[in-house]
């Protein structure tokens, strides 16, 4: 059992104690966006920008230089202060509540919306710690459920009063900076030159969606069936788009803000990922005990002319469907607030307000209440999260249906973004129109509420209208112009996304298949006959069925041409799978694919590769074939990288050298070329060419057992495969091996013509 009290004593030891908030006016002589850009590169920076002139768009807020970071991956809670990390297992919402109470503080300036607190996001999946819900969709990203930062610096700009305030947390203990030191650091960063060259690119590969159009429309029809059956009245259904992204996430954020400002823009530098949100919807506002929510339901695109624009706004205002949808969600939110507010205090201050944004119109309602004296900000969140406008009604059954129909987890989408103060202050938006940038990818979801009379086609197009602000900034290529990957599968050229292998295929179930990798340089196929001879030899031994009668050079040329690789070096893979377990006539699968070949960075940088002896000897006769059961070699390669090497040296059960995880190995000792003997090893196509070169130059071939230590006495050691040609080995287990770069260059000129 985790002793939570001890953990929080330890937290105070490493993070210090919050004794108060220093507040002073700030003479801001530049646009707030420029100030935020100076801090944007620092992990833990959060910028909350209020665009437009709506009454909810009053403050710009910057939080930076966090003295505490709070992340929760399910029940794994990770608290970080400086270089100290506190890790324990607990309910993440309970942990959040305990952190807020531990650092509770008062603020003297009541005109400020926030002076100290936690800034960041709560993911949609936090719902699983509030309600008992199914989880049938894989979490492929492994991003946090809670990601919050306690800034040591908070800057608040009041647009209505044209006033800027600087707030600095007074942290006592654990060697924390004084307020004076923090102010000096702030001024230092504030006066740094701006990075005017920050750029971003995205969408070059085109947008991919978690749904096809037909699949999305079918999901809408499924929801309508649930409505007819009495399960629900409404469900919010979304689809996720994904594409490539490179460059500066803050440049993307500021570009979006210029194009289409909205009240709840947010930028979060979360360390290993970034969140960029352009949400128009307030989830929760708390000032003392006064609380507010502003659900949005109903959307129309903006018109291209004044007349068309007015007509679309009027159409939305007069829509009975949208009125019913909004009223339903307002009732849900009133009930939610009623669980934690004083009796009779929950009111609908305004219903069905038409709000105009850059790309769309929305209908908005304002619901307010007064929090009961014993209830906290976390109680308010638990009573209302996730927001009803982006789940459905009733909420729990709606979330179950979302889990059933949506193929990916939502993560931050339809969660909440903003701040939770240490002094009874809270302002969270619904995380819609929100993108996550991670590992050179950007993904975002868009959705809409489905009701009984929803039209599937209209619902699909509504998601596109809502996502237009993000899509437009990325300027993705159209489906026709975006580059596509094509493969040849069983006689048919297909887009890669349409190439499918059944899960009952033994190639999937057991790795019962094999492949060849072939180098193609500017349309010239290297050593095709040798590759096909080896491929057919494996076919005879493993499949024992008639060989496919195919013109391989023609197939490969078609794949190269279709993928636009005729003017470059490409890696072509021929793959065969057994098919389903049919003893008489197995339905074998054949696939030919191609990709650009780029030399490994380690080779380009060092001119060779370092090896490390893999501690797990290989003991399978299948090593004589290039089977699809390649996990051993894959794990060996990962092990090598983790241990500071580039390749794993694979050894036989007796400890003698066999090969590396991707290549054959050859040893030069004086005038001999030595090929390691191995009871089962793949005969290398490029290895054969290298050996023939050496034989022509007067070397003598010797095949014998080699132990790893003998590599240190060699004149040179090379590894070879069909893509890299021949590459020198530089080291083994960190110890240098003799090299002959000129000899390697001479070999490559001969074999890679």
The tally of CA atoms less than 13 A away on the side-chain side of residue 420 is: 27
Chain position carrying tokens 């003598």: 700
Alpha carbons 539 and 208: distance in angstroms, whole number: 36
Beta-strand relationship, 725-732 and 282-287: unpaired
Q: What are phi and psi of 673, to 5 degrees?
A: -110, 120
Q: What are phi and psi of 128, to 5 degrees?
A: -70, -10
Alpha carbons 665 and 717: distance in angstroms, whole number: 7
- How long is the chain? 753
Alpha carbons 162 and 100: distance in angstroms, whole number: 30
Cis peptide before 564 (omega within 30 of 0): no
Q: At what angle do helices 377-384 and 92-102 cross, to 10 degrees?
A: 160
Cα–Cα distances (Å) from 439 to 68, 244, 602, 725, in that order, read: 25, 9, 20, 30
Cis peptide before 394 (omega within 30 of 0): yes
What is the dihedral sign for C-alpha 99, 78, 68, 3?
positive
Can you point out the beta strands (E) in 248-357?
A: 264-269, 274-279, 282-287, 290-293, 296-301, 347-356
Alpha carbons 275 and 507: distance in angstroms, whole number: 39
Which conformational region is residue 543 in: left (phi greater than 0), alpha (psi within -120 to 50 degrees), or beta? alpha
The tally of CA atoms less than 13 A away on the side-chain side of residue 480 is: 0
Catalytic pick among 71, 125, 127, 281: 281
The answer to whether 125 touches 93, Cβ cutoff 8 Å, is: no
Alpha carbons 395 and 389: distance in angstroms, whole number: 9
Alpha carbons 307 and 515: distance in angstroms, whole number: 63
Alpha carbons 299 and 465: distance in angstroms, whole number: 9
Alpha carbons 28 and 51: distance in angstroms, whole number: 18
Q: What are phi and psi of 455, to 5 degrees?
A: -95, 120
State yes or no: is 500 an active-site residue. no
Alpha carbons 74 and 78: distance in angstroms, whole number: 10
Beta-strand relationship, 569-577 and 513-521: antiparallel
Catalytic pick among 71, 127, 224, 297: 297
- Virtual torsion, Cα 225, 227, 231, 232, nearest 10 deg: 140
Q: What is the DSSP letter of 159?
A: T
**Helix or strand (DSSP H, E) at 573:** strand 569-577
**Helix or strand (DSSP H, E) at 558:** helix 552-562
C-alpha triplet 267, 272, 275: angle, nearest 5° = 20
Q: What is the DSSP letter of 417?
A: E
C-alpha triplet 700, 704, 710: angle, nearest 5° = 95
With a CB cutoff of 8 Å and minimum separation 6, the contacts of 42 are 64, 65, 189, 269
Pick from 389, 262, 276: nearest CA to 328: 389
Cα–Cα distances (Å) from 8 to 76, 117, 150, 177, 740, in that order, read: 15, 17, 16, 21, 60
Catalytic residues: 281, 297
């Amino acid at each position: 059992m985790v002793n939570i009290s001890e953990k929080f004593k330890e937290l105070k030891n490493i993070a210090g104690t919050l004794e108060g908030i220093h507040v002073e006016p700030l003479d801001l002589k530049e646009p707030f966006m420029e100030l935020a850009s100076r801090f944007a590169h620092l992990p833990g920076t959060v910028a909350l920008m209020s665009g437009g002139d709506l009454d909810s768009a009053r403050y710009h807020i910057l939080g930076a230089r966090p003295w505490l970071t709070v992340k929760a991956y399910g029940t794994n809670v990770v608290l970080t202060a400086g270089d100290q990390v506190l890790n324990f297992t607990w309910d993440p919402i309970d942990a959040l509540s305990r952190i807020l109470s531990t650092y509770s503080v008062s603020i003297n300036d009541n005109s400020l919306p926030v002076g100290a607190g936690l800034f960041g996001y709560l993911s949609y999946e936090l719902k699983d710690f509030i309600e008992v819900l199914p989880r049938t969709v894989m979490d492929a990203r492994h991003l946090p459920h809670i990601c919050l930062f306690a800034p040591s610096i908070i800057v608040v700009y009041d647009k209505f009063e044209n006033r800027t305030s600087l707030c600095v947390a007074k942290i006592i203990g654990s060697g924390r900076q004084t307020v004076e030191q923090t102010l000096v650091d702030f001024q230092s960063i504030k006066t740094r030159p701006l990075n005017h060259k920050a750029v971003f690119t995205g969408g070059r590969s085109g947008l991919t969606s978690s749904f096809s159009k037909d699949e999305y429309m079918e999901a809408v029809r499924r929801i309508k069936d649930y409505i007819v059956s009495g399960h629900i009245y409404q469900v919010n259904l979304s689809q996720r788009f994904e594409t490539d992204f490179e460059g500066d996430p803050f440049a993307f954020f500021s570009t979006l803000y210029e194009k289409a400002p909205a009240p709840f823009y947010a930028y979060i530098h979360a360390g290993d990922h970034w969140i960029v949100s352009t949400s128009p919807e307030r989830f929760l506002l708390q000032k003392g005990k006064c609380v507010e929510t502003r659900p949005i339901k109903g959307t129309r695109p903006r018109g291209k002319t004044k007349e068309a624009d007015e007509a679309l706004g009027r159409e939305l205002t007069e829509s009975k469907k949208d009125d019913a949808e909004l009223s339903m969600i307002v009732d849900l939110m009133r009930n939610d607030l009623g669980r934690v507010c004083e009796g009779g205090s929950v009111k609908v201050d305004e219903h069905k307000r038409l709000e105009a944004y850059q790309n769309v119109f929305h209908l908005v309602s304002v619901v307010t209440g007064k929090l009961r004296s014993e209830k906290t900000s976390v109680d308010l969140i638990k009573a209302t999260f996730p927001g009803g406008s982006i789940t459905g009604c009733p909420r729990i059954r709606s979330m179950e249906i979302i889990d059933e129909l949506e193929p990916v987890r939502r993560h931050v989408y339809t969660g909440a973004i903003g701040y939770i103060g240490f002094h009874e202050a809270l302002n969270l938006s619904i995380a819609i129109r929100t993108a996550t940038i991670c590992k050179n990818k950007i993904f975002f979801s868009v959705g809409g509420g489905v009701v009984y009379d929803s039209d599937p086609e209209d619902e699909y197009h509504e998601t596109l209208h809502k996502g237009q602000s993000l899509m437009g900034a990325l300027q993705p290529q159209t489906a026709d112009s975006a580059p596509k990957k094509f493969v040849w599968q069983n006689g048919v050229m297909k887009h890669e996304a349409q190439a499918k292998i059944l899960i009952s295929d033994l190639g999937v179930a057991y790795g019962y298949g094999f492949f060849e990798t072939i180098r193609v340089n500017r349309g010239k196929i290297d050593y095709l006959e040798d590759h096909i001879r080896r491929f057919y030899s494996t076919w005879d031994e493993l499949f024992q069925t008639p060989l496919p009668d195919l013109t391989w050079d023609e197939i490969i040329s078609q794949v190269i041409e279709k993928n636009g690789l005729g003017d470059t070096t490409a890696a072509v893979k021929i793959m065969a799978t057994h098919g389903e377990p049919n003893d008489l006539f197995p339905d074998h699968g054949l696939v030919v694919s191609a990709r650009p070949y780029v030399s490994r960075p380690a080779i380009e940088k060092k001119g060779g590769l370092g090896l490390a002896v893999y501690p797990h000897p290989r003991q399978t006769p299948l090593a004589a074939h290039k089977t699809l059961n390649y996990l051993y070699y894959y794990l060996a390669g990962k092990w090598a990288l983790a241990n500071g090497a580039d390749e794993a040296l694979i050894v036989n059960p007796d400890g003698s050298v066999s090969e590396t995880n991707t290549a054959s190995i050859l040893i030069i000792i004086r005038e001999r070329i030595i090929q390691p003997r191995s009871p089962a090893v793949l005969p290398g196509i490029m290895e054969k060419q290298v050996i023939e070169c050496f034989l022509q130059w007067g070397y003598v071939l010797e095949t014998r057992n080699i132990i790893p230590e003998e590599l240190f006495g060699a004149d040179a050691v090379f590894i070879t495969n069909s893509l890299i040609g021949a590459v020198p080995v530089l080291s083994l287990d960190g110890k240098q091996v003799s090299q002959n770069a000129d000899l390697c260059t001479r070999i490559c000129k001969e074999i890679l013509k």
